[in-house]
Structure 1
Amino acid sequence: MSIPLEHHRDVTGGWLRPAVFGAMDGLVSNFALMAGVAGGTAGLADGNRSAVVLAGLAGLAAGAFSMAAGEYTSVASQSELAEQEFENERRELSRNPDAEAKELAEIWVSRGIDRELAVEMASQLAKNPDAALEVHAREELGMAPGELPNPWLAAGSSFLSFVAGAMIPVLPYAFGATTLTWSLVLSLMGLFAAGAVVSRVTARSWWFSGLRQLFVGAAAAAVTFGVGSLVGTSIS
């Protein structure tokens, strides 16, 4: 009778981290930017709304492309480095399989496996080059070939999630809002909701994650609004 394997959520994929980070960053950074412009242009009356909306749209576009480009470059560079390490490991396994088997056995011994059993396991594994590469890579590098994140997937996730987050503070203006009030309300709701959603892939409670994200975003917006007010007053 076979024992069913326990299934766990995939925590190595290339989409979750950039998607979560992109949405959070889009909402926090764009609302903070709009708050800063609102504070700095408070004396412009009718011109205040135009300036805030323009800042929001510009922040959305610039941030989304910047996030996507940065995520692509970061993940691609990481994957290229890992691929090079896999190739180095593959070369060592081909040139000196006995030394590599001894190295793997020592790793297992350091983790509590009986030395005789560890040596036997490593020797048996060395007979299968593909399996040996996978196990060596996991033990020494923390990941195996085929598990590398996709840079295009990471960039696309980051771009779309940033746009989604950055749109939240802009939406009230699209429906006729003339002050930052409705953007504030909607952004705080979005911050709490985003934090609560993140809790589903962490060990934190939904209310803790939601409140934490709400306070972090509100603090960033308050500081930026204050800086904008000071700068606007000094140059007016």
Structure 2
Amino acid sequence: MKQRRYPPAPAQVYLFATCLVDMFVPQAGLDAVRLLEREGLTVHFPRGQSCCGQPAYSSGNPEQARAVALAQLDLFAEPWPVIVPSGSCAGMMRHHWPQLFAQDPVAGPKAALLAERVYELSEFLLHVLKVRFDVSGVAGQPPETVVLHTSCAARREMGTRDHGVALVDALPGVTRTEHQRESECCGFGGTFSLKHPDISGAMVQDKIASACATGCDRLVSADCGCLLNIGHAARHQGAPLPVEHIASFLWRRTGGAAKEQA
């Protein structure tokens, strides 16, 4: 993966929430906004946004993926960073949108310029904002042991695991542990879980068993598709494995949730 050069911290950013956050895990999107606003940024949310096009793209339908992605290109007109609380969606936008529009003289340059402004949330917090969470006033939170899960695309295209490791390891009272199947796919794979449910089910069972064997308190991830898959399967099995998006985890462990309740 090519080393990326990071700009100075901006004053304004866009949030591309992803369709899964919008429809299934809105709290993760809200907590992502809170993390960014706490660092002094103004967060803009273009209401016309929908999907990055990854489901169609990974299913071998580039024309449909182009149509979905094209509807997003003009929503982020200002030269602000586009923050995505999903490593796989960020990877789609940064690495595959320019390829989708490579032959389009109008949309191609737009996609290429936009791709350079796309950041996964953890990456942006760590390398652009260089966050140092103030936890001096955080008290009363019990210690937690967590395992991280990174989607296959996020791990390989955006290096999201490294960003998550650095942020989680900086939190007092939090112990990150690794398990034997951490680098394996959870079985979601977008439409893969629909086309091959038996294989997908076996993969997520292995993932859950391996994570639970560590005795962790919860599984944390920056990818909502994986969280939905692992969390639902764990509940179905009766496995003691709560799941939480990294935005919500960071917000909660740095006192944000307590301040909301006060």
Q: Same fold (TM over 0.5)?
A: no
- Bigger share in strand: 2
Task: For CA contacts below 8 A with separation 6 or more, give which structure has more relative contact order.
Answer: 1
- Bigger share in helix: 1
TM value normalised by structure 2: 0.21
TM value normalised by structure 1: 0.22
